């Protein structure tokens, strides 16, 4: 079962209940539910699921496992340095601050339920339908270069694999970084994707000269290398796509 804000068509065999973050779930929506994954973004007051449905989650006697999908943005800028789950939370802007608040709300809920509640801090997500190939094909891809800038990424399939591994090894209050093995400069990823497509590599654009939206510019305000050691050592995760090269190759092969 899923929730949806609007009555949009859903894939076959998927059922949904309405939830737009302004009111509780419909009565009985969680009856018999054993596992919850929440990916709804927080607002200035924190997580709308906690605000409106915490009592329903607390009353769900069948519940065994809960995952809140957060972001590595809670660590803020590390000037290219490494950070793991023990690192201090230093969000660089309002979006990161909202995530820190939401995490604390979910961890507080852990104290009031018997199910295991875990936080998964996701790096930049990519996968089929969410990658740089489309922009390269339509000529809108850019290679913005900021010296020393690196990002961590994660293929959507490896997110799913990590969640499944956690279901097998739940830990109350567990916090995990979900990212691949190789943080990399964004321009390198664009160049590799262009080479895979046999297209010219877009020219470098110095960050100072790039016409970026405020949100786009905010991404370049944080540079860090995120460690994924814990999901390997504790959950036994073996990444199917340990770096952007294997991930992009697989996405392109899947289009054939």
* Structure confidence at residue 49 (pLDDT): 97
pLDDT exceeds cutoff 90 at 4: no
DSSP 149: -
| Count of Cβ atoms closer than 10 Å to residue 104 Cβ | 15
* Structure confidence at residue 216 (pLDDT): 84
pLDDT digits (tens, 9 = 90+) for 93-126: 899 999 999 999 999 999 999 999 999 999 999 9
Rounded Cα distance, 16 and 25, in Å: 11
Rounded Cα distance, 77 and 181, in Å: 19
pLDDT exceeds cutoff 80 at 9: no
pLDDT exceeds cutoff 80 at 217: yes
* Structure confidence at residue 10 (pLDDT): 75
- Mean pLDDT rounded to a whole number for the chain: 95
pLDDT digits (tens, 9 = 90+) for 18-30: 999 999 999 999 9
CATH numbers and ranges of domains, the chain: 2-255 (3.40.50.720)
Structure tokens at 125: 């997500």
* Structure confidence at residue 184 (pLDDT): 97
Q: Do the Cβ atoms of 23 and 52 come closer than 8 Å?
A: yes
Q: Which pLDDT band holds residue 218 (cuts at 50, 70, 90)?
A: confident
pLDDT digits (tens, 9 = 90+) for 171-192: 999 999 999 999 999 999 999 9
pLDDT digits (tens, 9 = 90+) for 122-164: 999 999 999 999 999 999 999 999 999 999 999 999 999 999 9
Strands (E), the chain: 2-4, 16-18, 35-38, 65-71, 82-83, 116-122, 124-126, 143-145, 153-155, 175-178, 204-206, 225-226
Name which of 160, 74, 77 is nearest 121 in CA terms.
74
Q: Provide mean pLDDT across the span 6-35.
A: 89
128, with CB counted inside 10 A (0-12, 13-18, 19+), is middle
Instruction: For the chain, give the percent of residues with pLDDT over 90.
Output: 88
pLDDT exceeds cutoff 90 at 11: no
Give kind and range of the element (H or E) at residue 161.
helix 156-168
Phi first, then psi, for residue 195 (nearest 5°) are -65, -40
pLDDT digits (tens, 9 = 90+) for 48-89: 999 999 999 999 999 999 999 999 999 999 999 999 999 999
């Amino acid at each position: 079962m899923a929730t949806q804000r609007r009555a949009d068509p859903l894939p076959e065999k998927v059922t949904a209940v309405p939830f737009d973050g302004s009111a509780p779930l419909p009565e009985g929506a969680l009856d018999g539910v054993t596992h919850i994954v929440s990916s709804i973004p927080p607002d200035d007051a924190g997580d709308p699921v906690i605000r409106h449905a915490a009592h329903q989650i607390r009353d769900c006697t069948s519940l065994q496992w809960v995952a809140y999908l957060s972001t590595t943005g809670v660590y803020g800028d590390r000037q290219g340095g490494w950070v793991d789950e023990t690192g201090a939370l230093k969000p660089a802007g309002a979006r990161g601050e909202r995530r820190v608040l939401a995490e604390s709300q979910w961890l507080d809920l852990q104290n009031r339920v018997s199910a295991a509640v875990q936080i998964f801090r996701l790096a930049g997500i990519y996968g089929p339908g969410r990658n740089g190939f489309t922009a390269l094909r339509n000529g809108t891809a850019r290679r913005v270069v900021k010296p020393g800038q690196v990002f961590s990424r994660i293929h959507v399939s490896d997110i799913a694999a990590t969640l499944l591994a956690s279901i097998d090894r739940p830990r109350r209050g567990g916090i995990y970084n979900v990212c691949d093995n190789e943080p990399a400069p964004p321009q390198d990823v664009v160049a590799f994707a262009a080479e895979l497509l046999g297209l010219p590599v877009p020219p470098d654009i110095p960050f100072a000269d790039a016409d970026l939206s405020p949100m786009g510019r905010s991404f370049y305000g944080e540079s860090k290398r995120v460690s994924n050691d814990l999901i390997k050592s504790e959950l036994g995760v073996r990444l199917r796509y340990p770096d952007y090269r294997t991930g992009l190759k697989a996405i392109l092969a899947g289009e054939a």
